[in-house]
Structure 1
Amino acid sequence: MSSNVRITLHPTFEVLAATTAARLITRLLDVQSERGEATLVLTGGSVGIATLRAVAQSPAHLAVDWAKVNFWFGDDRFVPADSPDRNCGQAAEALLDHIRVDPARVHTMAASDTVDRLDEAVAQYAAELASAARAEWENDDASPAEAPPFPRFDVLLLGLGPDAHVASLFPEMAGIRAKGVPVVGVQNSPKPPPLRVSLTLETINSAQEIWIVAAGADKAAAVGLGLAGANEVQVPASGARGRNKTMWLLDQAAAAKVPAALMRGDS
């Protein structure tokens, strides 16, 4: 296991969400202290949304300057904007509607009733990422021509499926194999709804820190394989590696199949 990978255990789902929320608030405060703003990539799923709800409920969230946080999404479902399946809608209900965000800094993926085709949604998000990256480079007095196709991500949250998918990158499907593009469209997703937009693994791995949050016995096999270094095409979670840190934030049930040596940090 890479030296920048850390595993943190929590006794229950509720403690996991609350502790991750506290950790996230602290990290955003640290980044804002260093750079004046921070960038967070959000995820859906039960633990991801519970974490956002816990952030909103924490008195400490008032210390963050939310107007200077840039919000992106790791993936979303290509369904109508008012669908309860939309990750951005769930995130708004849990957190974004309860804090003073700058709407221009909240970057959602297009819905099926705002663009006609999935590939349009993909192209639109890729362009938005590239525009933000160019703006960052211009502010740093660097040449926009040298800018990567995505901006800096300080913390990127990922949920984990029982099949070890992250974002909407599913085992053996085209999305997990994609190279050289920042965003992909997913068709025939094994988990409904079938059409999705997702960051690619290359884009995900550009993040300074990746936090993989998982709870429940149904995630135990996926967690074990992901931490054991299985091939990323078969086990997408195993390929998620932050530039500075990769954190696996788990409840006890999800950690049931993690080898003891990994828990001790022996490898």
Structure 2
Amino acid sequence: MIELRTPAEIEKMQVAGIFVGEVLTELAARATVGMNLLKLDQIAHDMIRARGAESCYIDYHPSFGASPFGKVLCTSVNDAVLHGLPHDYRLADGDMISLDFAASVDGWVSDSAITVIVGTPRPEDARLIDTTTRALDAGIAAAQPGGRLGDISAAIAAVALADGYTINTDFGGHSVGRTMHGDLHLPNNGRPGRGVHLKPGIVIAIEPWFLETTDKIVTDKDGWTLRSADGSRGAHMEHTVAITADGPLVLSARS
């Protein structure tokens, strides 16, 4: 069932979104050469505790996860692109890291992700991040009342395909509310004019993610981290977005 949020509820969700944005801004700034992934997770944990928020990840155990996640942050480095389980690894110059974070504040959830380059950038990594960022922007712009879910998917795909990337549709966006994952699934490829009608009150996480030279993924031995099948790098961008009568409203915007 797709739940429609009232304007008052969307305001409460924006409070959670502001917090999630603050955490990701801090983590992106701290993702420097020598930083340990476990330390990044601890920083996020400390910020959750200080805010009186709740993690959406630590007890998360869907069917595709080997066990409860056990951390509050996803840290996907280089050929890892989704669900990266923090472990004892220090970031090196030239690494690319995707930080995915979701939290509940006063019972309302926001979910967001960002990919950054550590130290010296590789041109191909910067290009992949740029494409993924523009795909997110295109998806948000297509999230218009009166439209269809497929409009968002098609807008995301158009950017990726124009830049020569292929698209995996196993994982994508989703509706957000009292829980992190609602019933609505938003693939990163689709046909415009198809799918669920976009009504004011729908809140979705729009999250394009692409790999440099493949659309195939494999699960790491940790049972969580998803990596490219060919070792190429990946990028992941995400915002929680509300459909309003005036158009899309990004709830997790970062300063």
Does the TM-score normalized on the shorter chain lie above 0.5? no
Greater strand fraction, Structure 1 or Structure 2: 2
More helix by share: 1
TM-score by length of 2: 0.30
